[in-house]
Structure formats: C-alpha cells, structure tokens
Amino acid sequence: QSALTQSASVSGSPGQSITISCTGTSSDVGDYNYVSWYQQHPGKAPKLLIYDVTDRPSGVSSRFSGSKSGNTASLTISGLQAEDETDYFCSSYTSSGHVVFGGGTRLTVL
C-alpha cells in the first residue's frame, strides 16, 4: 500500500493550537476508525498519543486530540509547548488487515 500523506512541516507559537492532517484512502483511513498518532523525539522510539481515531492512552496529555472526516484524519495539539517540537506520524489499519504509516510531520514551535 502507499504511505498515508502528511504535510512535511507545520509550525505554531507557544500557547496556540495546531492541526496535523493525514490523508489516506477508502481502503484505510476512510474504511475503519483505526487511526493512530505517534510522537517521536530524535533518537527515541515513537510514543502512542492517539488510537482508534480519538482515544488517548493513560498518561497522554489531554492537549492531544484526534478526529477524522472521510479519508482524512487529524491530530490537534492545543496549548503548544516547546517540548512538543518534534516529529509526528499517523498510521491506519487497512482493509487488507495490514498497517500503513504516514511519512511524518515535523512540528516547529516558534
């Protein structure tokens, strides 16, 4: 399958909200509510932020929220903080029973 499409970069000022989008197809993002979002700091393993489109694992800040419309999923980070500056990846379960990731978005906090 092709990777999900994410914008390469996004930026925002401290305290603001930003949204990262993730576009797939009717065979993945559009077909199931099984979209996840990960945060990855340099040299570290990814951290699960959101799963099943909107659910947050225990311990993840409520500043992170997820949504989906059609074939596009979104991650919103509210109250931006300097520590949020890093890479974010989306992923989706597919109709073939596999998993596909997005190419990643680099968030810059201005």
Q: Which residues of this protein are in contact with another protein, per CB under 8 A? A: 1, 3, 32, 34-36, 38, 45-48, 51-52, 57, 89, 91-93, 96-104
Tokens of 89: 């990846």
Whether residue 15 contacts residue 84, with contact meaning beta carbons closer than 8 Å, is answered with no
Nearer to another protein, 3 or 10 (CB): 3
Least distance from C-beta 94 to another protein, angstroms?
9
Closest CB 82 distance from another protein, rounded Å: 23
Distance CA 50, CA 37 (A): 5
